[in-house]
Structure 1
Amino acid sequence: MPEIARFYETFQPEHYDLFIDVDRGTKVISGTTTISGVAQSANISVHQKDLTIKSVRVAGADVPFNTDNSADAVRIELPAAGETKVTISYTAPLTDSMMGIYPSYYEVNGEKKQIIGTQFETNFARQAFPSIDEPEAKATFSIALKFDEQPGEIALSNMPEINVEDGVHYFDTTVKMSTYLVAFAFGDLQGKQTTTKSGVQVGVFATKAHQPKELDFALDIAKRSIEFYEDFYQTPYPLPHSWQLALPDFSAGAMENWGLVTYREAYLVLDPDNTALEMKQLVATVIAHELAHQWFGDLVTMKWWDDLWLNESFANMMEYVAIDALEPDWHIWENFQTSDVPAALQRDATDGVQSVHVQVTNPAEIDALFDAAIVYAKGARMLVMVRALLGDDALRSGLKQYFAAHKYSNATGADLWAALGEASGMDVGAIMNSWLEQPGYPVVKAAVVDGKLTLSQQQFFVGDGVEKGRRWQIPLNGNYSVTPKLLTDASVTLGDYAQLRADNGQPFRLNVGNNSHFIVAYDKTLQDDILAHTDELDAISQLQFLQDLRLLANSRTVSYAALVPLLPKFANSDATVVNAALYNVVSNLKRFVTADSTEETNLRQLFGQLSAEQVARLGWQPKAGESNDDQLSRPYALSEALYAKNADIIAEAHQLFTTNKDNLAALPADVRSLVLGSEVRNFGSAELFDQLLQAYVATSDASFKADLRGALTSSPDKSLLAKLIKQFENADVIKPQDLRGWFRGVLANDDGEQLAWDWIRKDWQWLDDTVGGDMEFTTYITVIAGIFKHADRLAEFKAFFEPKLNTPGLTREITMDTKVIESRVALIEAEQAAVNAAVAAAL
């Protein structure tokens, strides 16, 4: 495939007049786009994809053009270079791809309805209107929108509606912005609005399938987030309004369109009376993430897609900064430690992973850049490291300079480091380049060698990896004063260990706070010292210790068998972060047993022992005045007890189900998925299966939908799972946006793995046709790699995916995920006997 040609180099748009007419009945878009700008030559190219170009006119006269679909281009011959105004008339199909302009489907009281929305990131604006569809090509936009309007319908866009005339909705001219941020929507929507302290109108909109109260939580978080960012960035929100819109069909989680942010319904609307705290925290951070983008990404935009991380990593960090300020009792940074950090560490340990900053050489690679564990999670961790080094005062000062210098324009990573460096007096770029420009991360080995405390770094791999001598500038954050602030060399000696230990009075530790992107391998002397004082470690330090051991075990640096005796030390913590880390370790032990074996019975017994005290303390029902940690830890403890087949817990779950059988949505949201799953696995029937599937289709509560999906896909009945798979391609039952979760659920079920694997191989082309242009398409491969663990499955994976290795956008994913499965197969084959012996010995 050819390298990307930058159309902006020959034509720089300044303003667009867009007229777009959408006919939902015929599913046809008709439009006229007038682009005013500067042509560097008489021959220019403008992006289009799947458009039928009717005419191209300049100064009232037709000019020659031809359509080049292979390059997503219309080639235009202008009368002359210089200032020009090009008017292009076209038509296009309204598709169900969830890209460009597309319909979202939903039901209200049994009546099927649809609203129209947009998704233009990364390069899908060209499916809606001819444009220079590149982030650097910023311009202003005047949008006129016509549609087959029904009574009561409303239209929304980036800017306020200023007039409606002859059925055409006219919106105020935007500020200078990139094409991928243009957005509009229309349909039978409800909304609630409020105003920030500075006068910004904030609104939340959704279909009328939702109760009005479901908009309240998001409205409050959105308003307070904008107020927080205006203060933190010391830069006003630059638009008159900020609309948040929930779309029933949406491929991404959310999208930061300037002034009209779009979301999956799951990440915006929620029932304030029965939604788990964990889900409220997720919705809040998603909203804060998208609103962070209104400055970082929208006001200042990456110059090209290779700096995508500049948008996403920063917003990923800021979502936690904002919500920590708005809801301090949530301790939201703990969520970062239990979600983003382990995701980044696991993914970034596979040889062949992309670096945070990565070159884009052809169009198909743009969407493949959205590797969430790297571009979002690892990148955010890099910025958390920078924040810890600089402090908030320097960070805010640098950001203010950055926004002032680049507002309504574009920037690179170097521009950000320059601004932060000037504010802090540190060479931020030199530190960050070692992390952003090379993939992977180091393991720092801490050991006592000949009585001396020594540290060394080398790249960490899970599975095979090629050592290339990479070095990082590592903020060590050690708890001994002799520890250097940065480790830049391959190794360093700190001094006599016995003397250092006596002077400091505590075990030696690195990465205190767990803010730096590395793991620590302590030798036996240092590890035993830590283990003797685990009760003195704070919760994050306990999480870090377990997390690092799990990764070292995955890499076979240490044995999982050696971890088993350590687990009881962490089993009865009051801290969610420790319970989450422990659950990750013990869940990995399931990989070493086969279904219905003696080894599995032993493992279930170990789960029962580890969860016994927590289950007795927490139970199924929330208690008055209990802590957030208790609310968030309860599902971990109950999940372990259910795997242990704890008869009392199963009976209590059955009683909860029976009491609420006529209104299952009313089950307490934080344990609802566990109650439903237990019922399906232990008391399942075809009638129950049909009841839950019908409830899934009927409900508009995304959280309840997820719980029902988890229960249905966990069924031990292969005939019911086969019946479920027949619905995978029925969008009236399972929307394409939700299919990956259903597929993963069945694949992860021992009784469904073969069925799901057969389906995806048989209907891969259907999947490609349906979601193939989606930035999440490759994650179907990731899902498979996360589950397969045997040599025969590895062989089947290779046989199916290796012929697709040269498919643009899939190459890296297939290559990496092959290594992921290979390393897991090797780990299990090498350690299965020892791990199962260790489990038996622990009973």
Structure 2
Amino acid sequence: MEKVEHLIQRFVPEHYELFLDINRKDKVFSGRVLVKGEALEQTVAFHQKDLSIETVRVAGESLNFTVNDDLEEVRFELAAIGQQDIELTFSGQITDGMTGMYPSYYQLDGVKKEVISTQFESHFARQVFPSIDEPAAKATFDLTITFDQQEGEIVLANMPERLAGQGRETGIWAFETSPRMSTYLLAFAIGELHSQLTTTKSGVEVGIFATKAHQSSSLDFALDFAKRVLEFYEDYFGVPYPLKQCYHLALPDFSAGAMENWGLITYREIYLLADDNSSLMSRQQIALVIAHEVAHQWFGNLVTMSWWDDLWLNESFAMMMENLAVDALEPSWQIKNDFNISSVPHALNRDAIDGVQSVHVAVNHPDEIQTLFDSAIVYSKGSRLMFMLYHWLGKEAFVAGLKDYFVAYQYGNTVGQDLWQALSHHSDKDAADFMTAWLEQPGFPVVTAKVVDDNLILSQKQFFVGQHKDQGRLWPIPLNSNWTGLPETLTQESLVIPHYSQLAANNTGALRLNLGNNAHYITAYQGQLLDDLMADFASLSQLDKLQLVQEFSLLAEGGVMAYADLLPFLDLLSDDSSYPIVSAQQQIIAGLRDMIDENSPAQAALKERVNRSLMASYEQLGFDIKDSDSDETEKARLFVLLAMTWAGNEQVIAQARAIYDQYATNMEDMPASLRQVVLSTQVMVAESQELVDAYLAQYVKTHDARLRSELCFALSRTKSQETVNKILAVLKDKDVIKPQDLSTWYYSFLRSDFAQEAFWTWGRENWQWLKETFAGDMSYADFVESAADVFKTEERLAEFKAFYEPEMEDLALKREIVMGLRNIDSKIELIKANKAALEAALEDN
């Protein structure tokens, strides 16, 4: 698509005076905006989308204007260039799409209510008011709102009210002038909300807001953590938080997980609210999301990318900082384990497919922006690269460089090179030279390590899963070895280190690379090096064992080793019930399950193997929650119980059913750390339509978003066509399944061999409705990715290709379709290459 014009090249805004009159009853709004700034050309254009532009005035004179809906702009001629005050009046409609200004719906005491809120990232401010809707077009904002106000309702915005209490008394809510910021960070919300408030040691008011459908106590955890993490960042960055408030708002309907609007961060309810029965995993996820969004208040809000091609700078940095902050504030959680268990394989698995995007991607048109929010690449891989740089430079140089960066560019815009220069200033290393190859090139290397004629040979090559074309890419790879005598970085294709025997004599233990798993590559140890490593395996740390299992799994997927060679690791890991080790077993089990047919002898053999290898962990962890349990015990227990119920362990199933019977009439009181396994087991072994109806009724009734996700997971375990039909019938009913959750339901049932055909058919038959409902939404491409993630047969590949290839002109879907085709094809080839040997190994065992 042709490169879109940057409208800031015609007009540079400096200040917006924005007035909005919102009519919720009729779902309309009208407004007036006075934009002060400098006209660089006489022909000026502002962004607008789906607005009725009524007048454009300069110095009291009306101007002729034209609206171009394709370009999403209003264009007009000025009498002169230079400083201008341009006033526009306009009106628009409030629609249910979760961008721009939209309503969130919820039930309170049987009455349907709503909260009006905004989502302006990436380029949706233009749906609410005419503006230069580009990240580089920073300006200050004066926001005033009036609406069809009812008793008890309030308005929240980025800034405090000018006169506290005026809005309640007069119905006119006027807010203090914001700092210079991008349009995508402006936000407001209207509704009947309650809150918990506190103040940081520097005087910032921190608040958690939610609808009154939630108990006040469900705001407590977030309030405590939000205060502490804001104080942590002020100390860590050495730059004060510049606003008077840092509010956090839980919304009943929200497409993204959360959004970092400056001073008014918005969330899905599941990522902010935690009641007394919330699991540790829920609280950890809430803490990570809060830490992520608060990090954005500096990196993204105070200092902002110049254009969307540097989106990774925002998200990768924030994901790195969320882990650093949570680890500092809650060290007992061992959050690095979670990063290695989930984020690292998430990045590696997607980055191994030829055609994957690089971290830094050129953006020519706004329609491409949503495709950049690739959680595996921009978030997981990007944050891993930031951790790699953090360790390569050293903590002191990294933190000192960050402070320089914030001070130098506060309230301004930057490109990646600006950050590298700031970080390099405090180090003798060149961050730009180091990072360029990692950011601009897709994929990652595999380092092959072997000994030939007493020479240690280290070589790098891009690692692929599935069909590919090797383009000879090279990276500067931090070796991070446990041995001395090796270089710090491998930059060339191959390196020969002589006198291996002498090198080994000078070191202890087997040679290992990428110690700490901080760099974005994997290692293929061969021959003697592999033998030595396996001889030392029992003495390795839990994280080291996890890393090796992840690397071996990828090597099997890439055809470097046989998938059947992973089986022995189930027994090698069976005597350790720690969270990292149980997670490593879970990864192996998931990979093996995908290789074999349901209800086959091989599957029965795998289930027997799973029960045997996890029995010691089950005997140690069980169902009983003890006061002495460590923070990680809860997570390990869930993994073990889910795997053993899948494997049909009668003892585990009986205990799960007994717990269900105890809480059948009050599911919300069931211990949250056990609910997922208990609810899903009941469907697997005792499904009835009465049970399904009870689950659906609970799903609609509850305000606990985590319980809703657990009920969805449980119902997807169905083996009843009646249940499948019942779920299909409510997928488009917003009073049952919120649009924000639809892609999760779709994915959960596509993963089921039993329900896949029906849901895949539904997805194709309702594609036009999905497109109309979700186009422009962050979850739009999820419907393509879901199918690509689970399909693994020639038949499904042909159907996926036939259906989605005609959609390739849609920029929001093109990359996901291409990646999906390659992903499905790679799984088909992997199964062909490994299935027979794996079945034989399982049945022999």
List, as ranges, runs of 4+ consecutive aligned residues in structure 1 with deviation greater than 6 Å.
none
Deviates more, 1:490-499 or 1:479-488: 490-499
Name the counterpart of 1:81: 81
Separation (CA, whole Å) in 1 of partners of 2:27 and 2:520: 49
**Quick one: which of 194, 201, 206 aligns to 1:202?**
206
CA-CA distance at 1:628 after TM superposition? 2.0
Task: Work out the CA distance in 2 between the residues paired with 1:48 and 1:558.
Answer: 55
Further displaced range: 169-178 or 580-589? 580-589
| Residues 645-704 of structure 1, C-alpha deviations (whole Å, 9 max, x = no match) | 011111111100001112111111112110000001101100010001000010011111
Tell me what 2:60 maps to. Answer: 60
Structure 2 SS opposite 1:357: coil
Equivalent residue runs for 1:208-357 within 5 Å? 208-271=212-275, 273-357=276-360
Identify the match of residue 405 of structure 1 among 408, 411, 416.
408
Identify unmatched segments of 5+ residues in structure 2. none
Tell which deviates more after alignment, 360-369 or 455-464: 360-369
CA contact (8 A) 1:452 1:495 kept: yes
3-state secondary structure, aligned to 1:162: coil
CA distance in structure 1 between the aligned counterparts of 2:158 and 2:611, rounded to whole angstroms: 54
Which residue type is aligned with residue 192 of structure 2?
Answer: D
Alpha-carbon distance between aligned partners in 1 of 2:356 and 2:541, rounded to the nearest angstrom: 32
Identity of aligned residues (%): 47
How many angstroms apart in 2 are the aligned matches of 1:100 and 1:542?
47
Contact 1:565 1:838 in 2 (8 A): no
- Assess if the C-alpha contact under 8 Å between 1:13 and 1:139 holds in 2: yes
Aligned to 1:189: 193
1:17 alignment counterpart? 17
SS in 1 for 2:319: helix
Q: Deviations over 1:417-468 (max 9, x none)?
A: 0000001221010000010011110000011122321100000001111111
- AA in 2 matched with 1:721: V
User: Which amino acid is the alignment partner of residue 145 of structure 1?
Assistant: I
Alpha-carbon distance between aligned partners in 2 of 1:739 and 1:621, rounded to the nearest angstrom: 34
> In 1, are the aligned partners of 2:210 and 2:250 still within 8 Å (CA)?
yes
Deviation of 1:594 after TM superposition, in Å, equals 1.6
The answer to whether 1:146 aligns with 2:146 is yes
- Offset of residue 497 of structure 1: 2.8
Question: Which amino acid is 1:292 matched to?
Answer: A
Which of 672-681 and 768-777 deviates more?
768-777
Cross-structure match for 1:824? 827
Q: Which residue of 2 aligns with 1:40?
A: 40
The aligned counterpart of 1:136 is 136
Alignment partner of 1:193: what SS? strand
> For residues 404-483 of structure 1, what are the structure 2 equivalents within 5 Å?
404-483=407-486
- The alpha carbon displacement at 1:135 in A equals 0.3
Counterparts of residues 633-644 of structure 1 (less than 5 Å): 633-644=636-647
Give me the TM-score of the superposition, normalised by structure 2.
Answer: 0.99
1:542–1:578: 8 Å Cα contact kept in structure 2?
yes
Q: Deviations over 1:205-243 (max 9, x none)?
A: 000010100000000111001100000000000000000
1:693 paired residue number: 696
Offset of residue 499 of structure 1: 2.8
Asked whether the equivalents of residues 313 and 376 of structure 1 are also in contact (C-alpha less than 8 Å), the reply is yes
What runs of 5+ residues in structure 1 fail to find an aligned partner? none
Contact kept, 8 Å, 1:607 with 1:643, in 2: the verdict is no
Q: State how far apart, in whole Å, the 2-side matches of 1:614 and 1:326 are.
A: 29
Structure 2 counterpart of 1:322, which letter? A
Alpha carbons 1:313, 1:375 under 8 Å: kept: yes
Amino acid of the residue matched to residue 305 of structure 2? M
Write the distance in 2 (CA, Å) between the matches of 1:830 and 1:27. Answer: 57
Q: Is the CA contact (8 Å cut-off) linking 1:44 and 1:77 kept in structure 2?
A: yes
Q: CA deviation at 1:570?
A: 1.4
Q: Identify which of 608, 621, 645 aligns with 2:648.
A: 645
Q: C-alpha distance in 2, partners of 1:762/1:149?
A: 42
Residues of 2 paired with 1:345 and 1:308: CA distance?
20
Distance 1:579 1:249 in 2: 35
Where 2:449 maps in the other structure, the secondary structure is: strand
Partner of 1:609: 612
**8 Å contact from structure 1 (residues 574, 629) kept in 2:** no
> Do the aligned partners of 2:743 and 2:779 also contact (CA within 8 Å) in 1?
no
Q: Is the Cα contact below 8 Å between 2:108 and 2:212 reproduced in 1?
A: yes
**How many residues are paired up?**
841
AA partner of residue 542 (structure 1): K
> What SS is found at the alignment partner of 1:419?
helix
TM-score normalized with structure 1 length: 0.99
Q: Find 1:382's aligned residue among 382, 385, 403.
A: 385
Once the two structures are superposed, the pairs formed by residues 427-576 of structure 1 within 5 Å of their partners are 427-576=430-579
Task: Choose 591-600 or 36-45, whichever is displaced more.
Answer: 591-600
Deviation at 1:566, TM superposition (A): 2.9
Q: Cα deviations across residues 491-534 of structure 1 (Å, max 9, x unaligned)?
A: 11223333322321211110010000000111132122111111
CA separation in 2, counterparts of 1:784 and 1:112? 34
Q: Take 1:355 and 1:304, find their aligned partners in 2: how far apart are those partners? A: 16
Deviation at 1:796, TM superposition (A): 0.7
SS at structure 2 position matched to 1:263: strand
Tell me whether 1:734 sits opposite 2:737 in the alignment.
Answer: yes
Per-residue deviation at 1:2? 2.6
1:837 deviation in Å? 1.1
Are the aligned partners of 1:3 and 1:363 in contact in 2 as well (CA < 8 Å)? Answer: no
Do structure 1's residue 674 and structure 2's residue 656 form an aligned pair? Answer: no
Letter of the structure 2 residue corresponding to residue 618 of structure 1: L
The structure 1 residue matched to 2:750, chosen from 737, 747, 751, is 747
CA distance in 2, matches of 1:725, 1:832: 33
Deviations 1:520-568 (A, max 9, x none): 1111321221111112111111011000011111111111011112321
* Contact 1:3–1:361 (8 Å) recurs in 2: yes
1:180 aligns with 2:184: yes
Q: Distance in 2 between matches of 1:479 and 1:522?
A: 14
1:101 aligns with 2:101: yes
Q: CA deviation at 1:597?
A: 1.6
| Structure 2 counterpart of 1:770 | 773
The answer as to whether partners of 1:157 and 1:185 remain within 8 angstroms in 2 is yes
Report the equivalent of 1:660.
Answer: 663
User: What is the distance in 1 between the residues matched to 2:544 and 2:452?
Assistant: 25
CA distance in 2, matches of 1:503, 1:529: 15
RMSD over aligned Cα atoms = 1.0
Give the partner amino acid of 1:420. L
AA in 2 matched with 1:538:
S
Measured in 1, the distance between the counterparts of 2:431 and 2:578 equals 34
Output the CA distance in 2 between the equivalents of 1:683 and 1:495: 65
Distance in structure 1 (CA, Å) of the matches to 2:589 and 2:473: 32
Contact kept, 8 Å, 2:577 with 2:620, in 1: the verdict is no
Distance between the aligned counterparts of 1:405 and 1:299, measured in 2?
11
After the TM superposition, which of the residue ranges 139-148 and 772-781 deviates more from structure 2? 772-781
DSSP-derived class of the 1:651 partner: helix
Task: Assess if the C-alpha contact under 8 Å between 2:300 and 2:314 holds in 1.
Answer: yes
Query: Aligned partner of 2:795: which letter?
Result: D
